[in-house]
Amino acid sequence: MNDIAFTVSYEIRSPKRGSLLKDAIISLTPLLSFCPTFISIANHQPEEKYLKGAKGELRKVIADKYPATYFFAIALQRATGVEVVPHLLCNELEPDLIDDLLLGFQYSGIKRVMALRGDRISNTVKFSNRYTHSSELIRHITDFNNFYCTKFKIGVAGYPDIHPTAISSEHDLFFLKSKTSLGASFVTTQMFLDNQRFYDFLTRCSGQDISATIYPGLKLIVDSSNLIQYKKRFNLEIPKELELLFFNIQKNDCNIIGEQWLFHQCDDLIKNGQGHLHFYIFSDEDINGVFTVLKKLKEQYPR
């Protein structure tokens, strides 16, 4: 069993305005020691609102904007030598800008992108020249590859617990199948807390002849509020055992329970043939907890 090897990757958030590249690298240093195969960069879509001026003209106001995400992705890849996979959000970008970004990525050595719809759909102004569905963005990138002879690999999201807006698992899988048919070659799943949900997802994908590489997405739970938040936002199935553990312990013990649960998830996935683990890293607690889990896994599987 100790001869089993596994690899890791991370998803991190784009940095806040005014932060320094060296600060991001310093915070990631513990996790970089595990030689990730790639780091994906979640691009937070800005909220766009328009206010009318005195003469009726519209003035754009952007709140909660994380600018320069794509420059950060390029800089991070050059500084660390780790492959970086930027997120492209279809309802944030105009088609011409997508082309410009892809050309920039090509020159900078970025070879993979994630094509996503984006979470925020509450913008007060809708733009007819922006894509509504990630399938449209995938088609755009595929056409770009064909026209410019580039070879961008396209990643998409998968949902072991079914997307919150999907009518059924069959409905959800139909759209995933269509995305892979359009050119997506790898899938990163939404976080899941019950491994059986992931195994069932793999079985359903296999039944639909979805041949894309599927990476299991994992997230450390740090307190009971996470369970409530993720259940509501991502339609996650919360295992009763985990729910009981978190609601019957002291606050100071939450990190220990979360790390133990994540370790057992990872250990089970590795033993069941999953050679790659993808971690969502959104806070210092995530960094510290995932480091502890990976250190323990490497001790168990030293290869």
CATH at residue 45: 3.20.20.220
Q: Give which of 3, 6, 2, 20 is closest to 270, Cα–Cα.
A: 6
Q: Which residues contact 74 (CB under 8 A, 6 or more apart)?
A: 84, 104, 105, 108, 110
**pLDDT tier at 247 (50, 70, 90 boundaries)?**
confident
Q: Is residue 2 part of a domain?
A: no
pLDDT of residue 47: 54
Q: Is residue 276 part of a domain?
A: yes
**Rg of the chain over CA atoms, in angstroms?**
20
**Residue 57: strand, helix, or coil:** coil
The answer, as to whether pTM is greater than 0.85, is: yes
Decide: 102 and 143 in contact? Cβ < 8 Å.
Answer: no
Q: Is residue 154 part of a domain?
A: yes
What is the sign, positive or negative, of the torsion defined by CA atoms of 25, 28, 112, 128?
negative
Q: Which of 53-62, 76-85, 88-97, 251-260 ranks highest by mean pLDDT?
A: 76-85
Instruction: Calculate what percentage of the chain has a pLDDT beyond 70.
Output: 89
* Structural domain total, the chain: 1
Q: Is residue 1 part of a domain?
A: no
Helices (H), the chain: 21-32, 69-80, 95-108, 134-148, 169-182, 195-207, 224-234, 240-247, 254-271, 284-300
| Backbone angles phi and psi of 276, in degrees to 5 | -140, 135
Rounded-to-integer distance, Cα 196 and Cα 178, Å = 24
CA angle 143, 184, 147 (to 5 degrees): 15
Give me the domain span that covers residue 123. Answer: 7-300
What tokens appear for 171 in the block?
């409905």
